[in-house]
Structure 1
Amino acid sequence: MLETAGPGAGRRPKTADERESTLNYLVRRFGDRVLKLAYYHVRDRYLAEDICQEVFCRVYRHLDRFRGDSSYYTWIYRITMNLCRDYKASAYFRRMLPARMEEEVIAAAETRMFEIAEGGEVFSKVMDLPLKLRTVIALYYFEEMKTAEIAQVLGISEENVRKRLCRGRELLRKKLSQEER
């Protein structure tokens, strides 16, 4: 499901109007997906929104550097993954983590609503998986990406994607079967 259509597809936007038109298209087309991907990583809606906004700021700044080697979809997801990784490695994130844990009780209702919208219990169990497995499962099942696309976005081999999918499914089965007891 690679995406290359839209304003300026196949060429770099040259004028300010073309850049703005392309950005508007990309935000409409991928904004929700970027927000979900960021949420899968940081597990905080407000942080995910900040990351999403920064992703599209970077997309706008670097539209002239987009070579078209991949689709817009893959390029934007790669930017999102890099920002999530950088954010989680930042001193700010590590410093804010204990304070955020206290806020989790307050945010639980909102998070629960997000989970219900995404499939309830299964989504909740996916969010409990380790990050590497959670990301692959989310991209494969929730974003309906193919293993080749996931490999390209994450910068890993297709074989590694398949292994993570297998491990993730196995852990999900265990978590769901434990809950049934």
Structure 2
Amino acid sequence: MGISEPFLQPEMASPDLDNRQQHLEYLMRRFGDKVLYLAYSYLHDRYWAEDVAQEVFIRVYTHLDKFEGRSSIYTWIYHITVNLCRDQLRALSRRREQEPVNYQEQAITGVEDRVLEKLQQQELWRAVLNLPLIYREVIWFYYYEQLGLKDIAKILGISLPAVKIRLYRARQHLQQVLKVGDGNA
């Protein structure tokens, strides 16, 4: 899955507007839901996740001609998504310092909302979402996206040993959280 996605073909980076639009549409169909779920796992907010997903594909479209094929298109898109999510989280922390944030609960409609709601209800998913970001992202890529450790290292821009350590610590943390949850039953 995922990383075996074929490299972007050279003709996909063609300046021909119709060709670029066709390739963007294909990439949005192929990776749109995955990008949305990844963004949601970072941001915990459906609307922010949708905004980030839109921005990801805007950047893919504008930089399609710069894609060099050194990694799969899947890895490239996920790298853009991770960077945009991190930027959003940094901006949010700066805004929180300046003004209080008012959250309003929105009515949940549509298929995407139901899928996200179902994921939120699962005990394991909640535990993953409560992990510190550095652990949550490796768990997401390893288990939910089924990426290899080397690919995760590329996407996150960290070393392979760092990925292994984060994955190990994330598993330990999840084990402790789930044991505490079982003890309270």
With normalisation by structure 1, the TM-score equals 0.87
Kept in 1: contact 2:13–2:67 (CA 8 A): no
Match of 2:138 among 136, 139, 146: 136
Residue 109 (structure 1) shift: 7.2
* Uncovered stretches (5+) of structure 1, i.e. residues with no partner: none
CA-based RMSD: 2.6
Q: Find the aligned partners of 1:43 and 1:97 in 2 and give their Cα distance.
A: 20
Identical aligned residues as a percent: 44
Rounded to whole Å, the distance in 2 between the matches of 1:151 and 1:97 is 35
Pick closer, same or farther for the CA change 1:93–1:25 going to 2, 3 Å: farther
Tell me the equivalent position of 1:146. Answer: 148
Distance in 2 (alpha carbons) for counterparts of 1:93 and 1:23: 33
Q: Which residue of 2 aligns with 1:66?
A: 67
What residue in structure 1 maps to residue 161 of structure 2?
159
Conserved in 2, the CA contact under 8 Å of 1:11 and 1:68? no
Shift in alpha-carbon separation, 1:180–1:73, aligned structure 2, 3 A: same
CA contact (8 A) 1:35 1:52 kept: yes
Q: 1:93 deviation in Å?
A: 6.5
- Mapped contact 1:115–1:124 kept (Cα < 8 A): no
Unaligned runs of 5+ in 2: none
**Paired residue for 1:51?**
52
Structure 2 residue aligned with 1:180: 182
Partner SS for 2:167: helix
Query: Match for residue 19 of structure 1?
Result: 20
For the structure 1 residues 41 and 91, does the alpha-carbon distance in structure 2 shift closer, same or farther, using more than 3 Å as the test?
closer
Residue aligning to 1:9: 9
